[in-house]
Structure 1
Amino acid sequence: MVQPILAAHDFYLSDIEFVKEGGGWYLRVYIDKPGGISLNECVMVSEALSEKLDAADPDPIPQAYFLEVSSSGAERPLRQEADYEAAIGQYIHISLFKKQDGQKVFEGTLAALTPTTLTLAIKDKTRTHSVEFERQAIANARLAIEF
């Protein structure tokens, strides 16, 4: 339901989740576009999606829920191939399933990407070095803010 709304405005779906928090259910739709999404654009997508969901028969989500549409944020997750490709040259954070070089968490600039690996340029106190990771070993990846 959301894809046609986004396509009409050259936005893309970054993530979607349906979660229970506290006593309520939340349908969260994260959207983005090159240059970022504005609050007004989130409101426009929220209103259009709300209308579609309300008009759907049968109701795709029978229980009561809150609809939230927001930007992906500065530290948005990298899930799809397009997310990774857009992140080349940017600072990212990755978590691994198993330790590599004695640790499971790495941050650095995404320097290279293949279908099976990614390479980070990691700065430490004295140098910058490249570390290659098997993509199947990555549990999570997201953009990060470099300090």
Structure 2
Amino acid sequence: MPWFEDFKVGDRHRFGHYEVTRDEVLDFARRWDPQPFHLSDDGAAATHFGSLSASGWHTAAMTMAMVVAEQGKDDDGSGSLGAVGIDNLRWLKPVKPGDVLSVETEVIETRPSSSRPEMGSIRNRTTVFDQHGDPVMRFEPIVLYRRRSA
């Protein structure tokens, strides 16, 4: 399991492979984000999207699936104690059916907790890329981890 002390500012990690399918885009949109450009080609053609695009929230969910899968490679997934929030969430480019997503994280801040000495927070700059290497989403999660020194 990674510990708080294992993270250093500047550390980068690239991982993930998520193939976006048309059926998944439509299923997510019907349930969670039923806007015309997420639901049909015709609805999307009438907008600046031009063609069917995944909801930004769907892109975030696909990213979380890749993050959890990556965490599970090194441990049982219990290294993280959860997140306290996300800052600076931006959807940079529409995600389309057929795109293949991957993730890069960069540690931008580590902070021991002053009120909970058994944990610390890690702020990452997380960027999601499509198969062409173009960034499609960026955000900064603040994640809690256990400390060895506790």
TM-score, length-normalised on structure 2? Answer: 0.26
Q: Which has the higher helix share?
A: 2
State the structure with more CA Rg: 1
Q: Which has the higher strand share?
A: 1
TM-score, length-normalised on structure 1? Answer: 0.26
